[in-house]
Chains A and B, each alone.
Chain A
């Protein structure tokens, strides 16, 4: 305690800009998976001191833009692809292609090598079995099922204005149904939605805690909550699940590019791919078996069957327009 106080006072003298041998990493990976990946990275590069900041996607974008006069970070790690192509973020990046990057299919990489995605996530519902039974409802299997008036007031969704998960849900529905039908469908769905929640994982927690029957969320949240023992079922919408990639990139203003590049090299090693496989439902690199608990929770061995073929470029480009239209229609 004394030491901490001293360091607070003496920190006045210090500057925290990363120096050689030190990396500052910004990530949006979920806290527990980020911690697990970072432990492995530290083992692989014991000579590098790694500082990691984990924030949700929206927080991180806002922070990077706020800090653009004096960026603090060397690397982006597990950063949403639809946000990394935001010109305000992309302009801060420096092209770099690690040796192993070629094993990642081209659609999961920036054409200018500014970023590459090694993992991703997809939309999934968390359905509370107990509350479903109490309310006498049938297990839903699709987005369309959620528009049944019987679900009125029992569905919670993320607000796409603040949540990346919320955005991929809306944008995938619009991409697969087309503009006009898509909005008409969302109008119908809106009548049943009890709350638009500001985070992507919260709807699943709300359903897990039995506050609502259905929480529209994403795959890993559902799987983790099932494993924690909540009485929920993971449902991947049969229309095809909206999905997002998590990208890694080198920041142009980094003053320790040598170590930053070593870190990026490490993220495409087979060792890293194995780790992703333990934590992620979508891995873009070959290798890595899906854990049994993922399959038990209802995840197919080959996720490409259930994914909506997302047009990431369009999803990124239309973001502002879709969100403002969404707000006009549904913001409460």
Chain B
């Protein structure tokens, strides 16, 4: 109220409200065209029966008992993976944010490994390690059979761990020391403090992490296809229906079925997040981690164990890329790095270009979307927030298929985009929009509204507040989101497989092609190159941060 009266005495400027509406309109238009339209194309296809529209495809699919078994498989596997990933990553994030374990930056880097390479190669690494002829069975005499439910669940736990960790780490990074001091003064034991202060204050982060991990697991296709054996899930069934049998309408039906559990988990998150308060206010005191030897040793041991686990996958892949013929001829060689394949290293350069464009435009897109939902509220904020988080529910393969159906139609005025790199960039942006948006809004939520009020009271317009207050607080997060988009564009596979043309070949697809034709060692070598590029990018960005004097910035958040 006070803010309004202050403002009314000043000279009217281009109304904040007008800016809000223009930005909201742009965001919603882009979401409509590059996300909603492809999804609707899939939906339309699911109702497309011979001789008109109808529920025939649904009747056929849902009356088959097999689909219910697949739903059970998917729910069980994704549920276990999500719980596993969130539990493991919560304590890992806790170790890094709330204890004095040593080597934090290395520990943080190591668990990011699954983000640096196509998921396919990660499952391949698990097979190198735990397969029927993997290291453990072949050289250590175990009798592990990794293929099936447990293989997929473990692979997806590893695969979703970094995503959960990013969210939980951000949630645990901020805390009001006053709460903890109060609890200690009142004589609460550490476990009680954890339950009554730490857990509740990170509730939103936990819910968001579960949502993201669950959605990623239930819609992941790469791990299930490589290590699942005969254990089928909904995502692989789509592959069967669409790739093997070209039955787009049935694949579309299963795609729609896949939306149900993902949408439910989203509703639950929405319910929890309503109770979320801003944690950092102008009165907050940053939490200082107290020294505690025993605690640090215990968490250090835990974190080291997890780090070794995550390090073993890229190391074994790296090793496999250097040996002549895994596992029969372990002579070291560099021949797999010759890349004497079709197009050679060109897909790598293409991917770098695509990833840079995705990172730049992706950050702009999620930042504006976050701002218009959290700060410049308009009647469009609700729908934008809903649409912005929805992409995580859409399997990449389904969204990619939707892009083909929507943009290859001559009726679409944007048809000229089909078969070009910009469409691939757009697909990557909107496929990863949900995670980028969640990371940004989680951070934004923790920047208290008090700052905004103060700024507005002092006469700053919303835009000025945005550039003078919000951005300076948020830019490290945004840089992290940019790196996230870059990584996703380097490694995502299933989303683009339908959009690849001879002129627009990308690196992740090359890995699939190499693995598919049995050049496991060369596929490993190509993956190592992808990992190296992503790591180089991280180093460059960190170097820039160091040069401008922004030390202590957590890059990947």
> Which A residues are closer than 8 A to B by beta carbons?
1, 4-5, 7-9, 11-12, 14-17, 24-25, 30-32, 34-35, 38, 51-54, 56, 58-59, 61-63, 65-67, 69-70, 72, 86, 88, 130-131, 159, 161-163, 194-196, 198-199, 201-202, 204-205, 208-212, 221, 224-225, 228-231, 320, 323, 331-332
Contacts and interface: CB of A to CB of B under 8 A. Distances in A.
Contacts of A72: 418-419, 501
Closest 7 CB pairs of A and B: A162-B244, A51-B502, A210-B133, A4-B353, A332-B230, A35-B342, A16-B419
A5 B422 CA distance: 11
Given A209-B131, A209-B326, A7 B421 contact: yes
Contacts of A229: 324-325, 328-329
A276 to B, nearest CB: 18
Contacts of B517: 30-32, 201
B341 interface: yes
A195 B518 contact: no
A59 B225 CA distance: 15
Contacts of A88: 246
Contact of A1 (B329, B353, B417): B353
Interface string B312-355: 00000000000011111100000000000110000001101110
A244 to B, nearest CB: 15
Interface residues of B, number: 63
11 contacts: A7-B421, A16-B503, A31-B514, A161-B244, A195-B147, A198-B225, A201-B518, A209-B327, A211-B127, A211-B131, A231-B328
A31 B515 CA distance: 11
B245 A323 contact: yes
Given A199-B516, A230-B325, A230-B328, A11 B421 contact: yes
B520 A209 contact: yes
B442 to A, nearest CB: 30
Contacts of A12: 417, 420, 422
Interface in B461-476: none
B535 interface: no
B438 to A, nearest CB: 27
A201 B516 contact: yes
Nearest to A167: B244
Interface in B384-431: 401, 404-405, 408-410, 415-422, 425
A224 B520 CA distance: 13
A61 B353 contact: no
A327 B353 CA distance: 43
Contacts of B401: 66
B94 interface: no
Contacts, number: 173
A225 B421 CA distance: 35
A16 B248 contact: no
Contact of B498 (A15, A30, A66): A66
Contacts of B353: 1, 4-5, 7-8
B336 to A, nearest CB: 12
Given A5-B357, A15-B416, A198-B236, A204 B342 contact: no
B246 A70 contact: no
Given A11-B422, A211-B131, A211-B133, A61 B246 contact: yes
A182 B342 CA distance: 41
Contacts of A199: 516
Interface string B488-528: 00000000011011110000000001101110100000000
Nearest to B350: A4
A159 B239 CA distance: 12
Nearest to B425: A8
Contact of B357 (A8, A52, A231): A8
B232 interface: yes
Contacts of A204: 518
B274 interface: no
Nearest to A88: B246
A200 to B, nearest CB: 10
A198 B240 contact: yes
Given A31-B342, A162-B243, A208-B518, 8 more contacts: A7-B353, A8-B356, A8-B421, A35-B341, A53-B500, A70-B409, A230-B325, A332-B230
B141 to A, nearest CB: 13
Contacts of A51: 501-503
A60 to B, nearest CB: 9
B244 A159 contact: yes
B229 A16 contact: no
B138 interface: yes
A194 B502 contact: no
A109 to B, nearest CB: 24
A70 B408 contact: yes
Residue from A7, A61, A198, A323 with most neighbouring chain B CB atoms (10 Å): A198
B242 interface: yes
A159 B240 contact: yes
A17 B147 CA distance: 43
Contact of B501 (A34, A53, A331): A53
Interface in B105-151: 127, 131-133, 138, 147
Given A56-B516, A70-B409, A1 B349 contact: yes
A1 B513 CA distance: 23
Nearest to B416: A15
Contacts of A320: 245
Contacts of B325: 228-230
B66 interface: yes
B348 to A, nearest CB: 10
Contacts of A195: 147, 229-230
Nearest to A5: B353
Contacts of A34: 342
A185 B133 CA distance: 29
Contacts of B350: 4
Contact of A210 (B138, B229, B232, B410): B138
A70 B498 contact: no
A163 B410 CA distance: 31
A63 to B, nearest CB: 6
A70 B231 CA distance: 37
Identify the interface centre among B244, B408, B418: most chain A CB within 10 Å of its CB. Answer: B244
Contacts of B357: 5, 8-9
Nearest to B127: A211
A16 B131 contact: no
Contact of B243 (A24, A25, A58, A67): A58
A194 B231 CA distance: 11
Most chain B CB neighbours (cut-off 10 Å) among A58, A62, A199, A224: A62
A251 B55 CA distance: 34
Contact of B408 (A14, A53, A66, A332): A66
Given A210-B327, A225-B518, A63 B498 contact: yes
A65 B248 CA distance: 9
A224 B522 CA distance: 15
Contacts of B352: 1, 4-5
Nearest to A61: B246
B217 to A, nearest CB: 19
Contact of A31 (B240, B326, B341, B498): B341
Contacts of A30: 517
A15 B422 CA distance: 11
Contacts of A61: 246
B410 A52 contact: no
Interface in B504-557: 513-514, 516-518, 520
A231 B419 CA distance: 42
Given A61-B246, A228-B325, A229-B328, A11 B502 contact: no
B410 A62 contact: no
Interface string B432-455: 000000000000000000000000
A52 B501 contact: no
A331 to B, nearest CB: 7
Which of B230, B425, B513 has the most CB atoms of chain A within a 10 A radius of its CB?
Answer: B230
